[in-house]
Chain A
Amino acid sequence: MSPLVQLAAEEAENPLLPPIPELVIGLIAFVIVFGFLAKKLLPNINKVLEERREAIEGGIEKAEAAQTEAQSVLEQYKAQLAEARHEAARLRQEAQEQGAALIAEMRAEGQRQREEIVAAGHAQIEADRKAAASALRQDVGKLATDLAGKLVGESLEDHARQSRVIDRFLDELEEKAEAAR
């Protein structure tokens, strides 16, 4: 049977007069809702909302910390990079200086060796010249004596006199050479 069946028309009921059973049941129904919500469910959700708020704020803080760290690491890297560049420049400079010093040293050494060689050469030449001169003096003296002996037809036995004559001759030659120079 449909519940929307009209009740037997008694005296017209005033719709503004609350029937007590409905009032009681209505209050009970409301108290059920209020009890569950106020005692359990709303405190539950309030706790979670608070936790969520903290979680979000914590997340923001974490992100900020990460950002700061990234910034500091970046600066550290930049500093390291600058230092490395500086170091490289310094090394290059040093190498250049070392190279230049090395070249200069080598050049000086070369110079010294050249001078040594030249000096040795000069000394050798001088010694050779002296040996040649003394050999030549003897040979020229002998030749001249031989020649003079042949020319005069007699042997120049008197060694002492002979030697004196030759020396005088040679001295004269030298003087002539000096004068011609």
Chain B
Amino acid sequence: MSADPSQTLAFDTSCHLFDGCGFPAPGLHSFLFKPLFGDADSNLYFNKTMLLALLGSIIIVGFFWAAFAKPKIVPGKLQLVAEAGYDFVRRGVVFETIGKKEGEKYVPLVVSLFFFVWMMNLWSIIPVAQFPVTAIIAYPAGLALVVYVLWVSLTFKRHGFVGAFKNFTGYDKTLGPVLPLSMTIEFFSNLLVRPFTHAVRLFANMFAGHTLLLLFTIASWYMLNGIGIAYSAVSFVMVIVMTAFELFIQAVQAYVFVLLTCSYIQGALAEHH
């Protein structure tokens, strides 16, 4: 992986195959952005991903505002679309996992999470933006942290201290001598690994997807020289295919993220066995 500070991405250069320059492969540097304002060394800066995050939340609020600010009993097209999305998350995710009675309370959170994550993922294939905000670990980590705090506090509230401890460790007398080992593993798996995997699952998917898109996009441009044009064409087809695939993955990852959220909440609310 190149770490040459002077190197820029392929589509910023006129460098092509056979021109004597190496392939400017995408890498970690593709996920680092120069601040638009402020200083990268201090913690006071504003960069592209932050802009996209705020812009994305404004788009979501704008969309739902247009759809639900003055809702009609006989819905217009926009309201119908928004209702379909809302209903999908409400009934398809929350009621399915937590149940209608207890789930109703968490619908706003889960709906917000779903559309927020989806929008942040969608930035990946929106022209000009073309970067999935969730491919920066800070964003999924923040969301996972919200869910984690909610989950842990819910567990304590529902079961008390001892009950929560049993809930976290999967306490089960019938396990006998294996119990201490099982409890240790469960404790780590639930309290320490779970929030990490929750965030990283989303992050890694979007990170990998963006890297793939970059790879084929850069290759399409880089090989646009001589016989390389044929390879470039193949690579460009792959760009199209991967873009479509990403569109699918973005929705799936948003769905998985909220589905896990619901299953954690459900676990906190459930009676321990």
Chain A residues with a Cβ under 8 A of chain B: 2-9, 12-13, 15-23, 25-30, 32-34, 36-38, 40-42, 44-45, 47-49, 51-52, 55
25 A-B pairs with CB atoms under 8 Å apart are: A3-B33, A8-B5, A9-B29, A15-B137, A15-B207, A16-B200, A18-B136, A18-B138, A18-B142, A19-B138, A20-B43, A21-B46, A22-B47, A23-B141, A26-B133, A30-B112, A32-B58, A33-B57, A33-B112, A34-B112, A37-B108, A37-B111, A38-B112, A41-B67, A41-B69
Residue contact A21 to B43, C-beta cutoff 8 Å: yes
Which chain B residues (37-62) contact chain A, with CB distance < 8 Å? 40, 43-50, 53-54, 56-58, 60-61
Q: Within 8 Å CB of B69, what residues of A?
A: 40-41, 44
Residue contact A16 to B137, C-beta cutoff 8 Å: yes
Residue contact A38 to B83, C-beta cutoff 8 Å: no
Q: How many A-B residue pairs have CB under 8 A?
A: 152
**Which one, B36, B71, B107, B115, contacts A44 given CB within 8 A?**
B71
**Distance between Cα atoms of A36 and B115 in the complex (Å):** 13
Nearest A residue to B9 by beta-carbon distance? A4
Residue contact B68 to A45, C-beta cutoff 8 Å: yes
**Distance between Cα atoms of A19 and B131 in the complex (Å):** 17
**Distance between Cα atoms of A27 and B53 in the complex (Å):** 9
Among all A-B residue pairs, the 3 with the closest Cβ atoms: A22-B138, A38-B108, A18-B138
**Which one, A6, A15, A21, A26, contacts B143 given CB within 8 A?**
A26
Q: Within 8 Å CB of B227, what residues of A?
A: none
Residue contact B136 to A22, C-beta cutoff 8 Å: yes
Q: Within 8 Å CB of A55, what residues of B?
A: 73
**Which one, B29, B57, B108, B141, contacts A7 given CB within 8 A?**
B29
**Which one, A3, A30, A36, contacts B36 given CB within 8 A?**
A3
State whether A26 and B44 are in contact (beta carbons under 8 Å apart), knowing that A37-B64, A41-B69 are contacts in the complex.
Answer: no
Nearest A residue to B129 by beta-carbon distance? A3
Q: Within 8 Å CB of B111, what residues of A?
A: 37, 42
Output the least CB separation between B67 and chain A (Å).
8
Residue contact B12 to A2, C-beta cutoff 8 Å: yes
B273 at the interface (CB under 8 A from A): no
**Which one, A6, A32, A40, contacts B5 given CB within 8 A?**
A6
Nearest A residue to B1 by beta-carbon distance? A12
Q: Within 8 Å CB of B203, what residues of A?
A: 16
B257 at the interface (CB under 8 A from A): no
State whether A12 and B50 are in contact (beta carbons under 8 Å apart), knowing that A6-B5, A44-B71 are contacts in the complex.
Answer: no
Nearest B residue to A55 by beta-carbon distance? B73
Q: Within 8 Å CB of B31, what residues of A?
A: 15
Q: Within 8 Å CB of A41, what residues of B?
A: 61, 64-65, 67-69
Residue contact B68 to A25, C-beta cutoff 8 Å: no
Q: Within 8 Å CB of B185, what residues of A?
A: none
**Distance between Cα atoms of A37 and B64 in the complex (Å):** 8
Residue contact B29 to A30, C-beta cutoff 8 Å: no
Nearest A residue to B7 by beta-carbon distance? A6
Q: Within 8 Å CB of A32, what residues of B?
A: 54, 57-58, 61
**Distance between Cα atoms of A60 and B79 in the complex (Å):** 24
State whether A6 and B8 are in contact (beta carbons under 8 Å apart), knowing that A34-B109, A36-B64, A38-B112 are contacts in the complex.
Answer: yes
Query: Per-position contact with A for B153-164: 1 when CB-CB < 8 Å, else 0?
Result: 000000000000
Output the least CB separation between A159 and chain B (Å).
138
B244 at the interface (CB under 8 A from A): no
State whether A13 and B115 are in contact (beta carbons under 8 Å apart), knowing that A26-B138, A27-B146 are contacts in the complex.
Answer: no
Nearest A residue to B143 by beta-carbon distance? A30
B148 at the interface (CB under 8 A from A): no
**Distance between Cα atoms of A114 and B68 in the complex (Å):** 104
State whether A7 and B71 are in contact (beta carbons under 8 Å apart), knowing that A25-B50, A38-B109 are contacts in the complex.
Answer: no
Q: Within 8 Å CB of A20, what residues of B?
A: 43, 138
Q: Within 8 Å CB of A5, what residues of B?
A: 8-9, 12, 34
**Distance between Cα atoms of A19 and B32 in the complex (Å):** 11
B30 at the interface (CB under 8 A from A): yes
Query: Per-position contact with A for B113-150: 1 when CB-CB < 8 Å, else 0?
Result: 10110000000000000010100111101110010000
